[in-house]
Amino acid sequence: MIKSNNSYRGYLLIILIALFFVAALSVFLLLIQGKKLTPTGQIVETGVVRLLSDVGDIKVFLNGKEVSRSNNLIQNVPIGKNTILVQKPGYSDWEKVIKVDNSRVLEITARLYPDEFNIEQVSGLNINTFAYSQDLSNMYFTVTSGNEDENGIWRINLSNGLFDFNNNGAAPQRVFSFNTELTSIFNSNLHNLKISPNGNGVLLATSNNLNYVWLSSSPDQLLDLNVDLGFVPNQIDWFENDSVLVFNNDILFERKINAEANNLVSYQPGSNIVYCTSLGFGYWINGATQNLYRYQNGNSVLVPLFTDAKGLELIKSINCLNNINEVVVEDNSGLYFLDFNSDYIDKIAKDVTITDISADGNTIIYKDVATWYSYTIKDVNGTNIPVTESHLLESVPFNNSVYVVDQGNTLAIFDRNVNDRNLLLLSDIDGENVNGVLEDITLGMGKVAMMQSDRKKLFVVIDDKIEDGSIESMLYVVDLTK
């Protein structure tokens, strides 16, 4: 009888152990399927958030409750809208409402800034005009109001690790010296700089239609493109590292600078050619047929409009992005984003003006008569259709300036209307989490600020008033770390 009871208890123990493992396995399966079991036994859908941050040792709160991360992942996030708060002593808080689903891991980046910033002057050179390379690793600028040892084209490497506040960082280098004639030309005429795709060339265009090019392969030469071409073109843009696209009324061609050769892109008598250029490719539109062509490696190839895009009317402008399969076009009905790889079209807005496109081509800044917006393009793993979204930049008054300050994640806002002070602000690309960086400063026109890719330094061109009352533009660096 005792033996029988022991056997019964043994069977019962085995059954209980089996049930325990079945329950544990069920919970595990629920977790890996993005679900969780509530204390009441209800099964609810959840999602996963990958939270990245510029700084370490952060505290993360989900809907008011502190949560932990494992390999940057926050598990069991309720489906729908949630509020994420990130905090660290000595830094600004970062907060955002996110929308979570169980179809993909949502990746977000919390960008925290220190409560105080250290700023230092990089050099005492009076900058006339400046521009940044496509990868934001180099800054070129002209000096035209200095002495003979200063006037010319200068370059400074802004790559990560070169700037140290203890040793004054890297110094600008003059790559080409202006003689008296060139100094007079660039000092008396507004001019802009465009940097070649590899960052080793500079295109200089003046307000009176003079065009020059400097290449590091011929460092002692500043080529007069108008003389080289034999005429004054309407527009010149970089195409490849040693070639430019030249537009003149009804003809568009590629000029190989070193080879002194031309490749015809399009000839359309009696009509202005609608075109755009990017890194080694371009698009142009046949004015008579409205056919769209892609130009690359010396050849133009017809790019048929996919079904959803065939409703586009007369295209009056086109912007190339970094992705060869993506463009932004404008017709009479509005501004559209097109992805030829996925046959995706999205209407951005109507009656707006594009003011900036980020270095990575994934963020577009535009405005209408009263409001600023950002438009983001994201590729999602596992799908071939990009995720696009427009953001109303409520934190940016219309008469202020705003542009993308890094590869495509941060906005720089120059606010001229806060208590009669001039403020330089940084925010997320959607205009949220605004942080003041500098105040009581004067900035020139254009993209006067640039951030390193590791987000440790911010470079800013500031107008300083000197003793005689004149204005000089100087380059400063702001430390974004503690």
- What is the predicted pLDDT for the residue at 340? 96
Does residue 129 belong to any structural domain of this protein?
Answer: no
- What is the predicted pLDDT for the residue at 373? 97
Are 436 and 423 contacting, i.e. CB atoms less than 8 angstroms apart?
A: yes
Q: How many domains does the chain have?
A: 1
CATH value at residue 71 = 2.60.40
CA angle 348, 408, 417 (to 5 degrees): 80
Does residue 447 belong to any structural domain of this protein?
Answer: no
Are 193 and 144 contacting, i.e. CB atoms less than 8 angstroms apart?
A: no
* Residue 62 neighbours by CB under 8 Å, 6+ apart: 74, 77, 82, 83, 84
Does residue 105 belong to any structural domain of this protein?
Answer: yes
Domain that holds residue 46: 33-110
Does residue 389 belong to any structural domain of this protein?
Answer: no
Which long-range contacts does 239-246 make (Cβ < 8 Å, 24+ apart)? 239/277, 239/280, 239/282, 240/197, 240/280, 241/196, 241/197, 241/198, 241/200, 241/201, 242/196, 242/201, 242/215, 242/217, 244/203, 244/213, 245/275, 245/277, 245/282
Does residue 75 belong to any structural domain of this protein?
Answer: yes
Q: Nearest Cα to 318, choosing from 281, 267, 359, 268? A: 281
Ranges of residues in the chain with a pLDDT under 70 are 1-13, 15-44, 160-170, 381-382, 416-421, 444-445
CA 92, 93, 97, 102 torsion: positive or negative? positive
- What is the predicted pLDDT for the residue at 217? 94
Q: Edge-to-edge strand order for the sheet containing 353-357?
A: 353-357, 363-367, 372-378, 387-392
CA angle 339, 342, 347 (to 5 degrees): 45
What stretch of H or E contains 336?
strand 334-339
CA angle 104, 105, 109 (to 5 degrees): 140
Residue 190, both tokens: 């507004």
**Could you read off the pLDDT of 51-81 as tens digits, one per residue?**
999 898 999 999 999 999 999 999 999 999 9
- For residue 86, the SS3 value is strand
Rounded CA separation 433/109 (Å): 12
**Which residue type occupies 150?**
E
- What is the predicted pLDDT for the residue at 213? 98
What letter does residue 31 receive in the DSSP assignment? H
Does residue 43 belong to any structural domain of this protein?
Answer: yes
> How many residues belong to the chain?
482
Residue 154, both tokens: 């200068």
Pairing assessment for the beta strands 106-110 and 43-53 based on DSSP bridges? parallel
What stretch of H or E contains 4?
helix 2-32
* Residue 34 neighbours by CB under 8 Å, 6+ apart: 45, 46, 47, 48, 102
Rounded CA separation 465/116 (Å): 24
- What is the predicted pLDDT for the residue at 422? 76
CA angle 330, 333, 335 (to 5 degrees): 35
Rounded CA separation 204/20 (Å): 75
Rounded CA separation 431/402 (Å): 10
206-229 b/e (C-beta count within 10 Å ≥ 16 → b)? beeebbbbbbeeeeeebeebeeeb
Does residue 476 belong to any structural domain of this protein?
Answer: no
Are 229 and 235 contacting, i.e. CB atoms less than 8 angstroms apart?
A: no
Per DSSP, helices labelled H in 52-193 are 180-188
Does residue 102 belong to any structural domain of this protein?
Answer: yes
